[in-house]
Amino acid sequence: MCTGRVDLEFVLRALSKGADGVFIGGCWLGECHYVTEGNYDALFNMHLGRKLLEQAGIDPQRLRLEWIAASEGTRYADIMNDFGKQLKKLGPLGQSEGLDAKTLKRNLAALTKLLPYTKLVERERLRVRFATEQQYQDYFAGEEFNRLFKELLVDKLAISQIMLLLREAPLSARDIAESLGIAANEVSRHLNSSSRLGLVRFDEAEKRFALA
Protein backbone atom coordinates (compact mmCIF):
# COMPACT_ATOMS: atom_id res chain seq x y z
CA MET A 1 0.00 0.00 0.00
CA CYS A 2 1.28 3.45 -0.87
CA THR A 3 2.20 5.59 2.15
CA GLY A 4 -0.02 8.29 0.68
CA ARG A 5 -2.96 6.07 1.64
CA VAL A 6 -2.02 6.18 5.33
CA ASP A 7 -4.73 8.36 6.82
CA LEU A 8 -4.22 10.12 10.15
CA GLU A 9 -7.31 8.24 11.28
CA PHE A 10 -5.24 5.02 11.08
CA VAL A 11 -2.60 6.57 13.35
CA LEU A 12 -5.12 7.74 15.94
CA ARG A 13 -6.93 4.40 15.84
CA ALA A 14 -3.70 2.53 16.56
CA LEU A 15 -2.86 4.81 19.49
CA SER A 16 -6.42 4.59 20.81
CA LYS A 17 -6.22 0.79 20.77
CA GLY A 18 -3.08 0.77 22.89
CA ALA A 19 -0.11 1.15 20.53
CA ASP A 20 2.73 3.15 22.09
CA GLY A 21 3.82 4.48 18.71
CA VAL A 22 3.17 4.29 14.97
CA PHE A 23 5.79 3.67 12.31
CA ILE A 24 5.28 4.40 8.61
CA GLY A 25 7.80 3.16 6.06
CA GLY A 26 7.72 4.07 2.40
CA CYS A 27 9.63 4.58 -0.82
CA TRP A 28 12.31 7.24 -0.97
CA LEU A 29 11.18 10.60 -2.29
CA GLY A 30 11.53 10.62 -6.06
CA GLU A 31 11.22 6.82 -6.22
CA CYS A 32 7.46 6.42 -5.75
CA HIS A 33 5.97 3.36 -7.48
CA TYR A 34 2.82 5.34 -8.29
CA VAL A 35 2.28 8.44 -10.40
CA THR A 36 0.61 10.11 -7.40
CA GLU A 37 3.94 10.34 -5.52
CA GLY A 38 1.99 9.59 -2.37
CA ASN A 39 5.09 9.62 -0.19
CA TYR A 40 5.06 13.42 -0.36
CA ASP A 41 1.53 13.36 1.03
CA ALA A 42 2.70 10.96 3.74
CA LEU A 43 5.50 13.35 4.68
CA PHE A 44 3.03 16.22 4.97
CA ASN A 45 0.62 14.12 7.03
CA MET A 46 3.39 12.98 9.34
CA HIS A 47 4.34 16.56 10.17
CA LEU A 48 0.70 17.60 10.58
CA GLY A 49 -0.02 14.54 12.69
CA ARG A 50 2.89 15.35 14.98
CA LYS A 51 1.62 18.89 15.42
CA LEU A 52 -1.83 17.61 16.33
CA LEU A 53 -0.48 15.03 18.76
CA GLU A 54 1.69 17.63 20.44
CA GLN A 55 -1.28 19.98 20.78
CA ALA A 56 -3.18 17.17 22.50
CA GLY A 57 -0.33 16.63 24.96
CA ILE A 58 1.11 13.53 23.28
CA ASP A 59 4.81 13.21 22.45
CA PRO A 60 5.06 13.75 18.65
CA GLN A 61 8.04 11.38 18.46
CA ARG A 62 5.60 8.50 18.87
CA LEU A 63 4.82 8.97 15.16
CA ARG A 64 7.73 8.20 12.84
CA LEU A 65 8.19 8.12 9.07
CA GLU A 66 11.22 6.65 7.30
CA TRP A 67 12.14 5.98 3.67
CA ILE A 68 13.17 2.38 3.04
CA ALA A 69 13.63 0.66 -0.32
CA ALA A 70 12.62 -2.97 -0.77
CA SER A 71 16.31 -3.91 -0.99
CA GLU A 72 17.22 -2.23 2.31
CA GLY A 73 16.41 -5.02 4.73
CA THR A 74 19.29 -4.20 7.05
CA ARG A 75 18.29 -0.53 7.17
CA TYR A 76 14.71 -1.55 7.97
CA ALA A 77 15.86 -3.77 10.85
CA ASP A 78 18.09 -1.03 12.25
CA ILE A 79 15.32 1.57 12.10
CA MET A 80 12.77 -0.70 13.75
CA ASN A 81 15.22 -1.58 16.52
CA ASP A 82 15.91 2.10 17.04
CA PHE A 83 12.22 2.98 17.14
CA GLY A 84 11.59 0.16 19.59
CA LYS A 85 14.30 1.52 21.89
CA GLN A 86 12.87 5.02 21.54
CA LEU A 87 9.40 3.85 22.56
CA LYS A 88 10.80 1.79 25.43
CA LYS A 89 12.55 4.89 26.72
CA LEU A 90 9.33 6.92 26.45
CA GLY A 91 7.36 4.22 28.18
CA PRO A 92 3.69 3.34 27.68
CA LEU A 93 1.59 5.91 25.85
CA GLY A 94 0.58 8.61 28.30
CA GLN A 95 3.29 7.85 30.84
CA SER A 96 5.95 10.30 29.65
CA GLU A 97 3.20 12.79 28.83
CA GLY A 98 1.80 12.69 32.36
CA LEU A 99 -1.67 11.79 31.09
CA ASP A 100 -3.89 9.35 32.96
CA ALA A 101 -5.82 6.76 30.96
CA LYS A 102 -9.06 8.74 31.01
CA THR A 103 -7.46 11.98 29.82
CA LEU A 104 -5.45 10.18 27.15
CA LYS A 105 -8.58 8.50 25.81
CA ARG A 106 -10.43 11.82 25.75
CA ASN A 107 -7.61 13.66 23.97
CA LEU A 108 -7.33 10.99 21.29
CA ALA A 109 -11.11 11.02 20.87
CA ALA A 110 -11.04 14.81 20.50
CA LEU A 111 -8.42 14.53 17.74
CA THR A 112 -10.42 11.82 15.98
CA LYS A 113 -13.59 13.87 16.17
CA LEU A 114 -11.72 16.83 14.66
CA LEU A 115 -10.30 14.86 11.71
CA PRO A 116 -13.02 15.59 9.10
CA TYR A 117 -12.59 19.32 9.69
CA THR A 118 -8.80 18.92 9.76
CA LYS A 119 -8.84 17.27 6.34
CA LEU A 120 -10.98 20.08 4.96
CA VAL A 121 -8.71 22.92 6.11
CA GLU A 122 -5.65 20.88 5.16
CA ARG A 123 -6.84 20.74 1.55
CA GLU A 124 -8.00 24.35 1.40
CA ARG A 125 -5.48 26.23 3.53
CA LEU A 126 -2.50 24.13 4.59
CA ARG A 127 -1.50 21.80 1.78
CA VAL A 128 1.85 22.46 0.10
CA ARG A 129 4.21 20.49 -2.13
CA PHE A 130 7.96 20.87 -1.80
CA ALA A 131 10.91 19.03 -3.34
CA THR A 132 12.92 18.19 -0.21
CA GLU A 133 12.35 17.04 3.36
CA GLN A 134 14.16 20.12 4.66
CA GLN A 135 11.61 22.37 2.98
CA TYR A 136 8.81 20.51 4.74
CA GLN A 137 10.60 20.81 8.07
CA ASP A 138 11.12 24.53 7.54
CA TYR A 139 7.48 25.03 6.56
CA PHE A 140 6.08 23.26 9.63
CA ALA A 141 8.52 25.06 11.92
CA GLY A 142 7.79 28.45 10.33
CA GLU A 143 5.68 31.31 11.61
CA GLU A 144 3.17 31.15 8.75
CA PHE A 145 2.22 27.53 9.39
CA ASN A 146 2.05 28.05 13.15
CA ARG A 147 -0.21 31.05 12.64
CA LEU A 148 -2.55 29.05 10.41
CA PHE A 149 -2.45 26.05 12.73
CA LYS A 150 -3.47 28.19 15.70
CA GLU A 151 -6.10 30.06 13.69
CA LEU A 152 -7.68 26.98 12.12
CA LEU A 153 -7.17 24.05 14.48
CA VAL A 154 -6.08 24.91 18.02
CA ASP A 155 -9.39 26.44 19.12
CA LYS A 156 -11.39 23.71 17.39
CA LEU A 157 -9.43 21.03 19.24
CA ALA A 158 -10.01 22.78 22.57
CA ILE A 159 -13.75 22.93 21.88
CA SER A 160 -13.75 19.25 20.93
CA GLN A 161 -12.06 18.44 24.25
CA ILE A 162 -14.58 20.57 26.17
CA MET A 163 -17.53 18.86 24.48
CA LEU A 164 -16.19 15.42 25.38
CA LEU A 165 -15.51 16.53 28.94
CA LEU A 166 -19.05 17.87 29.35
CA ARG A 167 -20.41 14.61 27.98
CA GLU A 168 -19.13 13.00 31.17
CA ALA A 169 -20.72 15.52 33.57
CA PRO A 170 -21.74 19.20 33.90
CA LEU A 171 -18.79 21.35 35.01
CA SER A 172 -17.92 24.92 35.85
CA ALA A 173 -15.58 26.90 33.63
CA ARG A 174 -12.92 26.64 36.34
CA ASP A 175 -13.28 22.85 36.51
CA ILE A 176 -12.89 22.62 32.74
CA ALA A 177 -9.82 24.87 32.75
CA GLU A 178 -8.14 22.80 35.47
CA SER A 179 -9.01 19.49 33.82
CA LEU A 180 -7.75 20.48 30.37
CA GLY A 181 -4.88 22.73 31.41
CA ILE A 182 -6.31 25.62 29.40
CA ALA A 183 -6.38 29.22 30.63
CA ALA A 184 -9.70 30.12 32.27
CA ASN A 185 -10.28 33.07 29.93
CA GLU A 186 -9.79 30.78 26.92
CA VAL A 187 -12.28 28.27 28.32
CA SER A 188 -14.81 31.07 28.87
CA ARG A 189 -14.33 32.24 25.29
CA HIS A 190 -14.91 28.73 23.94
CA LEU A 191 -17.96 28.22 26.15
CA ASN A 192 -19.47 31.53 25.06
CA SER A 193 -19.04 30.72 21.37
CA SER A 194 -20.36 27.17 21.89
CA SER A 195 -23.35 28.56 23.77
CA ARG A 196 -24.20 30.91 20.90
CA LEU A 197 -24.12 27.91 18.57
CA GLY A 198 -26.47 25.98 20.83
CA LEU A 199 -23.89 23.37 21.76
CA VAL A 200 -23.81 24.03 25.51
CA ARG A 201 -26.08 25.59 28.11
CA PHE A 202 -25.45 27.16 31.50
CA ASP A 203 -27.36 25.91 34.53
CA GLU A 204 -27.94 28.96 36.74
CA ALA A 205 -28.89 26.87 39.76
CA GLU A 206 -25.83 24.61 39.57
CA LYS A 207 -23.49 27.27 38.13
CA ARG A 208 -22.23 24.69 35.68
CA PHE A 209 -22.13 24.16 31.94
CA ALA A 210 -23.66 21.12 30.28
CA LEU A 211 -24.26 19.88 26.77
CA ALA A 212 -27.36 21.43 25.26
203 part of a folded domain = no
114 part of a folded domain = no
Element (H, E) at 67: strand 63-67
Q: What is the pLDDT of residue 116?
A: 96
Q: What is the pLDDT of residue 33?
A: 76
Q: What is the pLDDT of residue 169?
A: 94
What range defines the domain where residue 7 resides? 3-99+128-154
DSSP 183: -
148 part of a folded domain = yes
7 part of a folded domain = yes
Do 154 and 110 meet the contact criterion of CB atoms below 8 Å apart? Answer: no
Q: What is the pTM of this model?
A: 0.93
174 part of a folded domain = no
133 part of a folded domain = yes
Q: What is the pLDDT of residue 36?
A: 77
Q: What is the pLDDT of residue 179?
A: 93
Q: How many domains does the chain have?
A: 1
Q: Which residue from 74, 73, 44, 46 is spatially nearest to 62, judged by alpha carbons?
A: 46
Compute the distance between CA of residue 49 and CA of residue 166 in angstroms, rounded to an integer. Answer: 26
Q: SS3 for 180?
A: helix
104 part of a folded domain = no
Compute the distance between CA of residue 15 and CA of residue 38 in angstroms, rounded to an integer. Answer: 23
> What DSSP string describes 72-108?
-HHHHHHHHHHHHHHHHHH-STTTTTT--HHHHHHHH
If the chain, 212 residues long, is cut into consecutive pieces of 10 residues, what is the mean pLDDT of each piece?
90 98 93 82 96 97 95 96 97 96 96 96 93 96 96 96 96 95 94 95 93 94
Which class for 63: exposed (0-12), middle (13-18), buried (19 or more C-beta within 10 A)? buried
51 part of a folded domain = yes
* Cα dihedral sign, 65-7-84-94: positive
